């Protein structure tokens, strides 16, 4: 499941746990790389992980070909989706790179009820970020099932714009300077 007793990996507590685990793993990898007495196999084991990113890297580097589900720019792999939208499709991976396989079109019902709405939401969010249109950001907040009212949406948007910058957001431009309400907004 995406959630756990702390609320999941996307909550502050969950994110802290994930980052702590990554920091620990990073220290182990540094030790294995620079300390001749430490054998990586003793730290990480001899069994290749079942997570597909390791076999994908193995295919790219060592030419051990495999077929994997990957996220790539569509470029015609999935009919009905623009080429510049990322899709998850099967691909052959080897030293030549990641070669997406063309798949048959999805059923119209799936396209209309799932794919197109998600794609349009992504396009609206991208346009809001690129244009700095605060009303488009509000639309995204209001569209969320967690938003209970228009006032709640405004409060949520205000809270998002007033979050103290943290890693890595402290290196990003001030969003308050980038976003504004449209001139005709009342």
**Helices and strands (H and E) in the chain: how many:** 8, 3
Q: Is residue 73 one of the residues assigned to a domain?
A: yes
Counted domains in the chain? 3
Distance CA 66, CA 90 (A): 10
Strand partners, 90: 69
Cα radius of gyration rounded to whole Å, the chain: 22
Per-residue pLDDT tens over the stretch 128-168? 999 999 999 999 999 988 899 999 999 999 998 887 777 66
Per-residue pLDDT tens over the stretch 20-39? 999 999 999 898 889 989 88
Distance CA 60, CA 167 (A): 31
Q: For residue 130, give its domain range.
A: 108-178
Helix ranges (H only) for 36-149 are 40-44, 53-62, 108-110, 116-131, 134-143
What is the pTM for the complete model shown? 0.66
64 and 37 in a single domain? The answer is no
Q: Is residue 166 one of the residues assigned to a domain?
A: yes
Q: Is residue 186 one of the residues assigned to a domain?
A: no
Per-residue pLDDT tens over the stretch 37-67? 988 888 888 887 778 888 999 999 999 999 9
163 and 118 in a single domain? The answer is yes
4 and 40 in a single domain? The answer is yes
Q: What's the pLDDT score for residue 1? A: 43
């Amino acid at each position: 499941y995406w959630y756990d007793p702390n609320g999941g990996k996307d909550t502050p507590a969950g994110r802290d746990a994930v980052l702590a685990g990554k920091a620990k793993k990073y220290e182990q990898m540094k030790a294995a790389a620079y300390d001749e007495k430490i054998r990586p196999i003793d730290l990480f084991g001899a069994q290749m992980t079942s997570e597909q990113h390791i076999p994908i890297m193995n295919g790219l580097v060592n030419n051990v070909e495999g077929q994997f589900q990957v996220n790539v720019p569509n470029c015609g792999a999935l009919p009905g989706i623009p080429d510049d939208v990322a899709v998850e499709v099967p691909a052959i991976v080897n030293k030549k790179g990641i070669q997406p396989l063309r798949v048959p079109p999805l059923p119209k019902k799936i396209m209309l009820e799932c794919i197109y709405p998600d794609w349009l939401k992504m396009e609206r969010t991208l346009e809001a970020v690129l244009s700095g249109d605060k009303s488009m950001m509000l639309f995204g907040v209001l569209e969320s099932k967690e938003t209970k009212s228009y006032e709640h949406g405004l409060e949520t948007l205000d809270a998002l714009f007033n979050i103290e910058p943290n890693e890595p957001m402290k290196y990003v431009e001030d969003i308050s300077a980038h976003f504004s309400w449209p001139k005709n907004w009342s």
